[in-house]
Chains A and B, each alone.
Chain A
Amino acid sequence: MTKALSSTRQKRVFASVFGGTNEISQPTPDAGFTAPGQRFGGPLVDISHNFPDALESNIRDEPRGLSQEESSYVRDRVRWDRSWHTVTHALLLPDFPKNLNSAVPLLPRKETLDPSFDHSLENVLYPGRQVPLARDTEDIVEWHTQQVRSHFLHQVLPIILHLRETQAPDPLILTSVKILETAHRQYLHGLGIIKERMDKDVSAPGMSMLVLDKFRRDLHAIISKSVMEPLSAAIRRILERQVYTILGLPLAKGNDKAPITPEGPGSEEASRQLLGLVESFKSVGLAGEKLQVSFAEIMNNSMTEYVYRGCKGIWDAEEGDAGASESAVLPRTAHNSSPSRCVTDLCDWIENRYAKLAVQVLSVLDINNKVTWGEKERFKEMGIGRLAELRINELFDIVKNWPHSGGALDDLRTAITTPQRRLHLTEAFADSLNEKLLHPGTSTLQILQTYISMIWSFHALDHSKVLLDRVAFPLQIYLCSREDTVRIIITGLLADPEESRTNPSTADKLVELAILLNSGAPKIELRANDEGLDWHDMEWVPDPVDAGPGYKRSKSADVIGTLIKDLGAQEVFIKEFQNIIGENLLKHDGTFEREIKVLELLKVRFGEAPLQACEVMLKDIQDSSRVNGLIRKNQSLQNFPNIAEITSQPCLNAKILSRLFWPQLQDDSYIVPSEIAELQKRYEEGFEALKASRKLTWLHALGQATVELELEDRTVVEEVHTWQASVIWAFQDDAQHSVEQLGESLEMEEPLVRSALKFWVNKLVLQEVSPSTFAVLETLNQEDRARSNAQAAASSSAANQGDGEEESAQAKKDGIEGGKEAMYWPFVEAMLKNSSSQMPLQQIAMMLKMLVVEGFPYSNEELREFLARKVAEEVLELVGGKYKLRK
């Protein structure tokens, strides 16, 4: 009671002394400034009398009795100060509320404001008008801005920073936005009061808006400078999630299989959320440049993401999918004669989802810089560019996948419309060619097959062949350095397409060429000359801008032509062709249709003259069947009517070749069986009678013999080389021979003898009774018989020619055996003992090739076989693809 009383009394006392009605302190009344020369603090005293000399001049300028004017200065000053005080006190920001959920009243409330406030505000706002004499006036808006800054930095920012450490991105952003909104409201409320007063002033309309804009700009600058940085990661994550959901992209990284989800309620919901979020960002000042950059980056990534998700590895062309109506979505710059599925999908996606989102968000973000629908064309171009990039990276695999990658090539064709992209494509492809194909690890056949796919693919990509020429050049150079290129091409051309279909073992031939050759007559630059004049060609396009000088267009892919033209000189080609058809002509009988066809093809390409030799060769063969019949008739070598005699007597047919026109034919000299020699002599006489001036020279080794062996329990009929026949003939008189004996009696080189013996051992006709001694296997046991039957079955289906080549007279083809094995084993052993305790096959082969002085002529397969034998002998073991010595 007493206490309350005393406090009221106290208050009254204070009030009487300080005269304040409010509880805030009031500035003391200003006594005005002391004039120069006056003393502080005291009443204005004329001091000039005391210091007359010193201040004479001053005093003379200043009229006496200034007190009236002086006091008005003082009054204005005091009024200003008081007004300022009142206003700033009223507008002082309250502490930031801790609890955001309760509605915070905005302070100060308008209705609680002192009536004097309005007047004070006027004084503060227009000091020039209201208190003209007050000096050092300040700008209230400036003050408010300062106050807001420090309030924000000291009270709001710490809360947000604290939140960042404790909360997940989603609630963090939501709470932060709420906090910022609250703070915003508070800050603007204070300013609103000022603005209201300013609006009353009719002398400067619009002034208030300027002030408000400036304040808002300052505030946003403060907020985005301080808050954006700590929140950007979270904002980015949320934006990214929403954008990906809207665009139908899978959120989880690494999950390659996740498809693009179509538009649905989920994406619409996300779209609404995102727009709301962006709106609120904008309202609190977070929608600054940083947010825009983040958004742009996310959009950028999402386009790449779409291209990779939606288009990677999808190379099939789907028929009928890309209708004419849909091609309308393609940008004008694209090559849109036949848009592919991926491109259409991509453009569709950009048009309906991507561009839409971008336009929506950006229109919220920035009013001045509107994104128009016209931008979508640019987006599409970008998207197609990305797709082109992806396809270019995939191009090598696309090419290998030909003809199942038409769609991907369509994509590329749509996309590569600029010289830059064409250049990039060829450069990237040449790089991957170098890396993946042009190294010693790939076989020439593989390279050629890839080359053929390349010709097809690039033709589909670009009819002009300019691109192909650019990438194929290094490939051609490389292929020229391979010795077997031309041979593979020619055997491919000569291959039998029928046979390849039924017999997969011929997969090592380039049968594609044969199929091409047979499928249609090669149209060789038929239209090259008149194409420019064909006015009805609606597909006509001008020459590509990057075509080199001397560019000549050709419409067909012309695989064969390209291969023949580019890979090796004409002479090389013809020589190889001669060799191969020479072999074929000698080995087989028949009409040689394929050979004639290839010859015709080559004649068209190279002209008649260089291929004259081949013509002669073919003619020789055709003639010799006629001459052969004639001689046989004349020399009574004709079949005897008696059947029994046919089987016991050998008969002889010959092919007569013109030596000058045939390639150098290898001949191993040895003695043919006397019966045959006799026949040859008679044949020779017959020939010389027929063609007087010519002489016949026998090439034993090139012949073929049909051998019929009558053993005790079976009869073996084999089509064999003459040297093989000679060797088995030797067993006719004597059932057992050693290798040396045979070599001497036949005058044959030992490797050849061994090879022939091996052949007969394989046929289960001979057996090796002791090392280097062979005997005839007259009767077969059960097991051997089964093998023999199986062999007969196998050999009847497989073409015999394969055997002949395998068993050729070169000893080194027989694998690592005998003495060689003893020679190489120490190497392998020492290598595994010392260099590295376990090695893969390739490394062993490499080391042997490098270190064995006389060279290591065996293939990896032969080495593998050799090592496998050692594994079987239990001196080696193969663990995880590496060989190691068994301990």
Chain B
Amino acid sequence: MNYDMEDTQNSAPGSLPANQASKLAPRRAPDAQSTTKRLQTELMQLMNSPTPGISAFPSADGNILTWAATIEGPEETPYEGLTLKLSFAFPSNYPYAPPTVLFQTPIYHPNVDFSGRICLDILKDKWTAAYNIQTVLLSLQSLLGEPNNASPLNGEAAELWDKDMEEFKKKVTARHQDIDDE
């Protein structure tokens, strides 16, 4: 019965074939070692083939289950030229459950609320084990240029995005402030 949900999750493009996923299902039990290993592998990938505009690294305390990430605001969006910081908190059964991602930098965006919480389907019900940090960051980067105004967390932003882009840009600039973590 649990596999039904598995299947819907795996219907996302690029996910594992269903039979493989069902094989993985019994291993769902938290396995700290494999999570660490996976995150280390992801880190190596990120380091070996860096993607311009995004960057991520485990947090300074050396806990590999919490990461910090940076997204450069994509060009030709209101966020152009801004640097946005995020935090990732990985559950112990990652990648079978999505990480908790929050914007650390204050951001004015239809799908982000004022405490940095993000409304993005792949971070919730559409999550699959095939996603990784890099894809999440890329999705977030594209979300900046193409907000999902159908389900806004910030109604005013959604409205302004559609009606008054100038005002929206002003709000973005007003809300943004560079954080310097110490």
Contacts and interface: CB of A to CB of B under 8 A. Distances in A.
B4 interface: no
Given A827-B47, A834-B57, A851 B64 contact: yes
A826 B47 contact: yes
A853 B44 CA distance: 8
A851 B60 contact: no
A835 B40 contact: no
By secondary structure, the B interface counts as: mixed
Nearest to A850: B62
B154 interface: no
Contacts of A836: 60, 181-182
Nearest to A822: B48
The A interface, classified by DSSP as helix, strand, loop or mixed, is: helix
A830 B62 contact: no
Given A827-B47, A830-B47, A839 B55 contact: no
Given A834-B67, A837-B181, A847 B47 contact: no
A843 interface: yes
A835 B55 CA distance: 11
Interface in A827-859: 827, 829-831, 833-839, 843, 846-847, 850-851, 853
B118 interface: no
A830 B46 contact: yes
Contacts of B182: 836-838
Nearest to A853: B40
Given A851-B58, A851-B64, A834 B70 contact: yes
Contacts of A830: 46-47, 50, 55-57
Nearest to A825: B47
B85 A834 contact: yes
A826 B40 CA distance: 14
A833 B181 contact: no
Contacts of A853: 40-41, 43-44
Given A834-B56, A834-B68, A835-B57, A846 B62 contact: yes
Nearest to A829: B55
B101 interface: no
A132 B61 CA distance: 96
Contacts of B43: 851, 853
B157 interface: no
Nearest to B87: A834
Given A853-B40, A853-B41, A835 B47 contact: no
Q: Most chain-A Cβ atoms within 10 A of its Cβ — which of B40, B50, B62, B182?
A: B62
Interface string B59-85: 110101001111000000000000001
B180 interface: yes
A835 B68 contact: yes
A827 B40 CA distance: 12
Contact of A843 (B40, B56, B60): B60
A850 B61 CA distance: 11
Size band of the interface chain B makes with A: 20 to 34
Nearest to B58: A851
Contacts of A850: 62, 64
A830 B69 CA distance: 9
A839 B60 contact: yes
Interface residues of A, number: 19
Interface string A19-43: 0000000000000000000000000
Nearest to A826: B47
Interface in B11-44: 40-41, 43-44
Contact of B180 (A823, A834, A837, A846): A837
B58 A835 contact: yes
Contacts of A827: 47, 57
Interface string A489-506: 000000000000000000
Nearest to A824: B47
A830 B67 CA distance: 11
Given A830-B55, A833-B55, A847 B70 contact: no
A833 B41 contact: no
Given A830-B56, A830-B57, A836-B182, A847 B62 contact: yes
A41 to B, nearest CB: 94
Contacts of B40: 851, 853
Contacts of B50: 826, 830
Contacts of B62: 846-847, 850
B60 A833 contact: no
Nearest to A827: B47
Contacts of A847: 58, 60, 62
A834 B47 contact: no
Nearest to A836: B60
Contact of B59 (A829, A835, A837, A838): A835
Contacts of A829: 55
Nearest to B62: A850
A838 B182 CA distance: 7
Which of A823, A833, A837, A839 is the most central at the interface, judged by chain B CB atoms within 10 Å of its CB?
A833
A830 B70 CA distance: 9
B61 to A, nearest CB: 9
Given A850-B62, A851-B64, A833 B44 contact: no
A192 to B, nearest CB: 79
A851 B50 CA distance: 16
A838 B181 CA distance: 9
B115 to A, nearest CB: 20
A875 to B, nearest CB: 14
A776 B181 CA distance: 52
A1 B89 CA distance: 109
A692 B33 CA distance: 61
Contacts of B85: 834
A835 B69 CA distance: 8
Interface string A657-692: 000000000000000000000000000000000000
A834 B41 contact: no
Contacts of A851: 40, 43, 58, 64
Given A827-B47, A851-B43, A851-B64, A833 B58 contact: no
Interface in A768-813: none
A826 B48 CA distance: 8
Nearest to A847: B62
Contacts of A831: 57, 60
Contacts of B68: 834-835
B110 to A, nearest CB: 25
A841 to B, nearest CB: 14
A561 B35 CA distance: 51
A763 B84 CA distance: 51
15 contacts: A823-B47, A827-B57, A830-B57, A833-B55, A833-B70, A834-B56, A834-B67, A834-B68, A834-B69, A835-B59, A836-B60, A847-B62, A853-B40, A853-B41, A853-B43
Given A834-B85, A837-B180, 16 more contacts: A823-B48, A826-B48, A826-B50, A827-B47, A830-B46, A831-B60, A833-B57, A834-B55, A834-B56, A835-B68, A836-B60, A836-B181, A837-B182, A847-B58, A853-B40, A853-B44
Give 9 closest A-B pairs by Cβ, nearest first.
A834-B68, A836-B60, A834-B57, A835-B60, A830-B57, A826-B47, A831-B57, A853-B40, A835-B57
Interface of A: 823, 826-827, 829-831, 833-839, 843, 846-847, 850-851, 853
